[in-house]
Amino acid sequence: MNVELTAIRDFLAAHHPFDRLPGPVLEDLVTRMTSRYYRRDTVILTAGRRAEAAYVLRSGVVDITDTNGALADRCVEGDVFGVSSVRDDSPSRFTMVALEDSLALLMSPEDFRRLLAEHRDFSRFFDVQSAERVRAAVEALRTPEAGHDVLRTELGDLVARPPVAVDEAVSIRDAARLMTGQGVSALLVTRADQGGADRLVLSGIVTDRDMRRLVVGEGRPADAAVATIMTADPFTIGTEATAVDAMLAMMQRGFHHLPVVSGGQPVGMVTSGDLMRLQQANPVAIVGTIASSGSLEELIAARGRLPALVHDLVRQDVSAPEIGRIVTAVGDAVTRTLLRIAEQDLGPAPFAYAWVALGSQGRLELGLSSDQDNALVLAEEPDEAAAAWFAGLAERVTQGMAACGYPLCPGDIMASNPAWRLTRDQWQHVFWGWINEPDSTAVLNADTFFDMRPLTGPELVEPLLGAVHRSSASPRFLARLAREAVSWQPPIGFFRGFVLDRAGQGTKGLDLKAGGIAPIVQIARIHALAAGLPEVSTGARLGAAAATGTISQQRADDLRGAYDMISHLRLRHQSDQAEHGQPTDNVIDPSALPTIDRNSLRDAFKIIRDAQQELAYTYRLHAVS
């Protein structure tokens, strides 16, 4: 093989998917390829004509435009184009023009189709859909570093001892003695299953805290049955669940003990201490420290451990939605602690109220750079004194959150704004106004307020949300939301460090939140509101909407994959910034991304574009005023 052919072989071997071909096959291929030079502005292939070859760009730049003249892709060194026409022996749907002086390697249709037929890895690159490539990229991103996959430990492997259990008729005194003798801080309470003598039914759980509170504190008789002080029908978790599943359950419910079951039978107990031993920066421990903080200074210090925790989670096999839920659980704990501290200073509330999280916190999707969005739902119309009390509460909590790392909302969507301290009836009137008379303000507010989740006072909020969900399927309202969701055009890809739009213009940085996460969140919200669903997180909305048929299962899975991939890149970016002491943001430099990540983002953008087109068709946006 001469020097020139060797150089071509080495060039192809350095680019995917030619790197998947066996050496002899690649060497044979290059002997049959030809090279062709195209001067700038040369039309290589016109839409409606068949491609004479599959082109591999060796140098230069080629623009691919659709029949409307919009830029569909920009090919650079190593990219392959003209593929669809050659593979299907059909006219090209695109026009291809050399943007710069370019040199291409031409592969005959026969050679290209033979490689597709004989080499699976090569053909998969051209055959699989964008969504499949994104799912594979998510799995690759989530591959843990060596020694950092402990949170994927299944609870069946984590539970080290059989359950320490007592019958529900055993006395409190004997139960306490058993706890002391076994050195445990909680007991499972069981009863015999009527269906089998060797089977036990889990009745409840008793912790050392129950003993102190009810027996020592309230004077319950020690000879009473342990069932009188147990927590009945406790939350359980299966042996197939992972440590991260247990961690999330504990954080969200404020538990420190979780009974582990298999086939409905109790097999052991996992505790927050077990999870703490798995990793140094443990979210359950951080939430516990936050909840016990007695001052803003203590709270700031406890929340300050969050960036290190996220960095640790990113290195492990923990998905972006799971990390988002953990980060949100920390934010929820900060909020509740600030409310407790504020009430200690201000005195008891004049009447019942609910503090609600909005936006990303409401969706359980906080990131390290997220600002705060919140509001108050009041049980009744406040008089002057009560209004002053709630104003003081809101000011203390929002400022405290800012001090803890949650910036004030630039749009002033916070409980410190009197406009967002309303009674339930007032809130319902506001929501109905947005739904029935949707203007630009309604669309803007929908991005935040329709993600409402109560952190306190759920009994005030749940009836409100139920009424909102029953009323939110207004076609006009949904159409306005859909128009907003499709107004943002995803980039087509990247070129020399710039993010390209369909006009071929480029910006230096890519905002992963505004440029990828936000449109998926909007699409999921629309489908959930259209079906009157109560779910708030993006993944849960897509899953529930697919179950009702509002969106296809395939489309929901594709969007979830794109969301997970973009969110993981965002978390990784923020984690790296925090580790280096830099302020966290959502903007990445595309030139700093590995090629596989850039290609995965391009696939994710295509998924978003396809979902937007489907949304535009569903809501006939050409007819929306």
Whose CA is closest to 187, among 210, 217, 164?
A: 164
CATH class of the domain defined by 3-127: mainly beta
- Could you tell me what percent of the chain has a pLDDT over 70? 92
CATH class of the domain defined by 475-623: mainly alpha
Asked whether residue 624 carries a pLDDT value surpassing 60, the answer given is no
Give per-residue pLDDT as tens, 87-107.
888 999 999 999 999 999 999
Place of tokens 């320490």: 164
φ/ψ of 341, rounded to 5, equals: -65, -40
518: its two tokens: 């936000």
Distance (Å, whole) CA 600 – CA 612: 18
Number of CB atoms found within 10 A of residue 79's CB: 17
Mean pLDDT of 459-464: 94
For the chain, domain boundaries: 3-127, 160-278, 283-471, 475-623
φ/ψ of 190, rounded to 5, equals: -130, 170
Q: Is cis: bond before 17, omega within 30 of 0? A: yes
Mean pLDDT of 165-189: 88
Distance (Å, whole) CA 150 – CA 45: 53
Give the pLDDT confidence score for residue 140 in this predicted structure: 61
Give the architecture (CATH level 2) of 283-471. Answer: 2-Layer Sandwich (3.30)
Ranked by mean pLDDT, the top range of 17-21, 277-281, 317-321, 485-489 is: 17-21
DSSP state of 242: B
Chain mean pLDDT for the chain: 87
SS3 state of residue 422 = strand
Mean pLDDT of 344-352: 95
**Cα dist from 285 to 119, 275, 290, 356, 542, whole Å:** 51, 9, 9, 24, 32
pLDDT band at 622 (very low <50, low <70, confident <90, very high): low
Give per-residue pLDDT as tens, 203-250.
889 988 888 888 777 778 888 888 888 888 888 988 888 877 887 787
Mean pLDDT of 24-48: 95
How buried is 145 (Cβ within 10 angstroms: 0-12 exposed, 13-18 middle, 19+ buried)? exposed
Whose CA is closest to 337, among 392, 301, 289?
A: 289
Place of tokens 């909305």: 541
Asked whether residue 331 carries a pLDDT value surpassing 90, the answer given is yes
232: its two tokens: 């009945």
How buried is 159 (Cβ within 10 angstroms: 0-12 exposed, 13-18 middle, 19+ buried)? middle
Give per-residue pLDDT as tens, 587-608.
988 878 887 788 888 888 889 9
CA-based torsion, 583, 589, 590, 593: positive or negative: negative
Give the pLDDT confidence score for residue 127 in this predicted structure: 67
**CATH placement of domain 160-278:** 3.10.580.10
Q: Beta-strand (E) ranges in 8-158?
A: 34-38, 43-45, 54-59, 62-65, 71-75, 80-81, 95-98, 102-107
Whose CA is closest to 615, among 551, 566, 568, 560?
A: 551
pTM: 0.76
Distance (Å, whole) CA 616 – CA 619: 5
